[in-house]
Every structure is written in C-alpha cells, then in structure tokens.
Amino acid sequence: MRLITHNMLSCNIKGVTNGFPLKIEAEKVIEKEVDFNPEFLRHMFAKIEWKALVEAARSLGYAELPEDSPDATAIESSVDDESLLKKLHHALLELHLEEGALVCPETGRKFPVNKGIPNMLLHEDEV
C-alpha cells in the first residue's frame, strides 16, 4: 500500500468520528520506482493532508519531508522547486507498506496489512 492510499483511508467503524489518520505499524517497507509525473502531484496536492503524510512517511522511515505544509502556489508554479516535488513523489508513490498494521486513532482497532493489502473488513458489531 502506498502512502497516497493511506492518506485517503480512514477508519470506518460505526460511531468513530475521527478515524483519520490511521497510525502505521510498519514491519516491512519496500520501494518501487515509479515514473515522476509533476502534473499528477500538483493535481493531488490540494487533496493531501500534509501532516498525516509527514507522519506516515516518518513511520516508514522517510523523514525528508518538511514539517510544515508547503505553499500551494509554490507547488503550482515552482520550476526550481523540483526537489520538493521529487520528495513528495517518493513519499506518495514509491514507498510501499508491505507488512504491518494500521491502527485506528480513536478505538485502537488494528487493521492488518499482508502482502501490501490492508484488511479493512469490519466485524458484524462494528458496522
């Protein structure tokens, strides 16, 4: 699972009001190289929760993203700021959580991740 997906996922248990962001307990992380596409990153930037992304990247052992969210205009227009986009690209699309678990911040429920697939199935009493 890439971090772009993690950034969209929230806990779906009934009654949970703030199921985002899911904490990551990483056991195995792999990297896969993907083509760099600045257009897509610019398109996705507005939708990304920066804080959650920084935290998630850190839990996968990648700490090079800046703490504060960069300016939207900087991302939009920058030509020289390619390095920031590259970092974002690496964090969003190239880091994969292969084995581990996602933990709901409110209930502490664990969603196991096997072979890169998080198991988000809920039990009957959680629906």
> Quick one: 79 or 121, whose CB is closer to another protein?
121
H or E stretch including 112?
Answer: strand 110-114
Looking at 19, 70, 86, 103, which residue binds another protein (CB under 8 A)? 19
Q: How far is CA 117 from the centre of its chain?
A: 14
Dist CA 10 CA 1 (whole Å): 14
- Tell me the closest approach of the beta carbon of residue 101 to another protein, in angstroms: 13
Both structure tokens of 80:
């020289």
1 binding another protein? (CB under 8 A): yes
C-alpha–C-alpha distance, residues 76 and 46, integer Å: 10
| Number of amino acids touching another protein (CB under 8 A) | 30
Residues of this chain that interact with another protein (CB under 8 A) are 1-2, 4-5, 7-12, 19-20, 37, 39-40, 43-44, 47, 49, 93, 115-122, 124, 127
